Structure 1
Amino acid sequence: MKPDTSAYARAHAATLKGHPLESEALIRAARMLEQARTRPGDTKAFAEALDFNFKLWTVFQADVSDPASPLPLKLREELMSLSLYMDRSIRSLLREFDDKILQGMIDVNRTLASETGRANHSIDRSAGSGLEL
């Protein structure tokens, strides 16, 4: 029997905001794709990984499309371009498996997770520890 971790996941997500949540979601997206790759016969895991990535990148699309987004226009355009790349990759993988496309998706997720994590670390250091004793 699998333990129910959904309550923990919801509580954990509720404590994360901004860059940490984005970074964690991107890491999860990359990990799901990587795990699906290591189990080529597991079509359910592959479909779940693609679905999670689709939903995640749809959220990014909505965020960068919002005129009220605080992100600089150039960054929003670059994120939209990445998002469209991910959409095309997902559609392609739904038609036919291609390891190079899958690796490209994993790389995009990992790289962006690393960048958002780095941005968050810089913000945290400039703002102090945030701990109140």
Structure 2
Amino acid sequence: MSYGAHAYAKVSQVALTPREAEAAVLIKAAARLQAVQDNWAEQQAGLNEALTFNQKVWTLLSTAATEPDAPLPPELKQSMARLGAFVFTRTFDAMVEPAAEKLTALIRINREIASGLRGNP
């Protein structure tokens, strides 16, 4: 097998579908938030970084899901818009008045959506 064919075969085995990539990014955001929550006393300095990353993820997800040409049913688009609004509100609240318990809902939402994207509802 030539080097190019071997490299292609390797990449094709690890390439993610768009849904898998979205799930992976949500899990990464949840893990960052979980790390801060689990070690609140030591990790609180990383709170805004973790929240900002999660906010960026949700900006992309909610924007893509609510585009007029997104291939989703109208009810799902509306649900994603509401969920995105909740995530943004909770994120802002956690930035203004930090508390470990405020991260729980964000972590659960990310994990649940990721699970659904992976086909494990």
What TM-score, normalized to structure 1?
Answer: 0.73
1:116 aligns with 2:108: no
Amino acid corresponding to residue 68 of structure 2 in structure 1: P
Contact (CA 8 Å) 2:37, 2:101: kept in 1 or not?
A: no
Q: Once the 2 structures are TM-superposed, how far is the Cα of residue 87 of structure 1 from its aligned partner? A: 0.2
Match of 2:27 in 1: 27
1:92 aligns with 2:86: no
* Deviation by residue 1:105-129 (Cα, 9 ceiling, x = unmatched): 111001111111117xxxxxxxxxx
Amino acid corresponding to residue 70 of structure 1 in structure 2: P
Percent identity between matched residues is: 26
Q: Once the 2 structures are TM-superposed, how far is the Cα of residue 37 of structure 1 from its aligned partner? A: 1.1
Structure 2: state its 5+ residue gaps: 1-10
Moved over 3 A (4+): none
Give the Cα separation in 2 of the matches to 1:98 and 1:47: 12
Q: Once the 2 structures are TM-superposed, how far is the Cα of residue 44 of structure 1 from its aligned partner? A: 3.8
Amino acid corresponding to residue 50 of structure 1 in structure 2: L
- Partner SS state of residue 118, structure 2: helix
How do 1:19-98 residues align onto structure 2 when only pairs under 5 Å count? 19-40=19-40, 41-98=42-99
Give the Cα separation in 2 of the matches to 1:109 and 1:15: 22
Q: How many residues end up aligned between the 2 structures?
A: 107
Give the Cα separation in 1 of the matches to 2:50 and 2:17: 23
**CA RMSD after TM alignment:** 1.8
Structure 1: state its 5+ residue gaps: 1-10, 120-133
Give the Cα separation in 2 of the matches to 1:28 and 1:106: 10
What TM-score, normalized to structure 2?
Answer: 0.80
Amino acid corresponding to residue 49 of structure 1 in structure 2: A
Give the Cα separation in 2 of the matches to 1:16 and 1:107: 23
